[in-house]
Amino acid sequence: MGPARLIDGKAFSASVVERVGVAAANLRASRDVTPGLAVVIVGEDPASRLYVRNKGLRAQEAGFASFIHALPAETDQATLDALIQSLNADPAVHGILVQLPLPAHLNTMAVLAAINPDKDVDGFHIVNAGRLAVGLPGLVPCTPLGCLMLLKAELGSLSGAEAVIVGRSNIVGKPMAQLLLGADCTVTVAHSRTRDLPEVCRRADILVAAVGRPEMIRGAWIRPGATVIDVGINRVPHPDPALAAEGKTRVVGDVAFDEAVQVAGAITPVPGGVGPMTIACLLANTYTAACRQSGIQPEVI
């Protein structure tokens, strides 16, 4: 078997953003509604600041209204709660995203719970988790939604496929399982306590790695021809000892890519696979939220 096909998340995400932009323009033209995304960040973490800036830029590129609220690290719970409530009440804001992690003195679960579920474009609110679990329309976490879109683009129908997810987080693993069940897959959620994890992985037609451990999934764990979605983004020391000594790093996934690419049928690279889909799906969720809040059926993205 030759090397696997690479699933180009960067190119696919660009096409999603383009489709969202067209749909948003149609919404503006037909109903005078401009999707509005508010992003809240607390503190000065450079990586988070850059990520928030990129989210704002991508929202503007898609023709959205972008509202960035950057608060100092010492912001207290009451001030943050008051901001969330004001955004909940603002008709120009259709989507609210609070950049995580928050400073340790703030209660993250309380902040997320304060967001109106219909504006919760991260899909983390317990109401949206419940909607997903029982099959009602809601807002779905962006990363698993992006994974599902990549899988459908690569494979078409997923009906009947054996899917294994390694990782059981509320952000990726659990919602990914619900989405794949909704697509008529047979789903196994595996994790650090799973007995004979390599053998469980080898059953998979679709293998989703979301465990947060660098290159944990080896090539020998993958069924020949399987489709592999690598959600992991891990920084490890650079393989060149001289560069590693200077503190240089490289980004790897949860899958040992050089091994897996020789076995899998298709695989997402890291970087350039799942990562770009997260912001694309954030914009898609914001567009969907704007339509629903305006009593309009969203276009299929």
Active-site amino acid positions: 55, 99, 122
State which H helix or E strand residue 249 sits in. Answer: strand 249-252
Q: What does the H/E/C string look like for 84-108?
A: HHHHHHCCCCCEEEECCCCCCCCCH
Cis peptide before 101 (omega within 30 of 0): yes
Phi, psi at 45, each rounded to 5°:
-55, 120
Q: What does the H/E/C string look like for 204-240?
A: CCEEEECCCCCCCECHHHCCCCCEEEECCCEEEECCC
State which H helix or E strand residue 252 sits in. Answer: strand 249-252
Q: Which amino acid is at 129?
A: A
25-30 CB contacts, 8 Å cutoff, 24+ apart: 25/63, 26/299, 27/287, 27/290, 27/291, 27/294, 27/296, 28/63
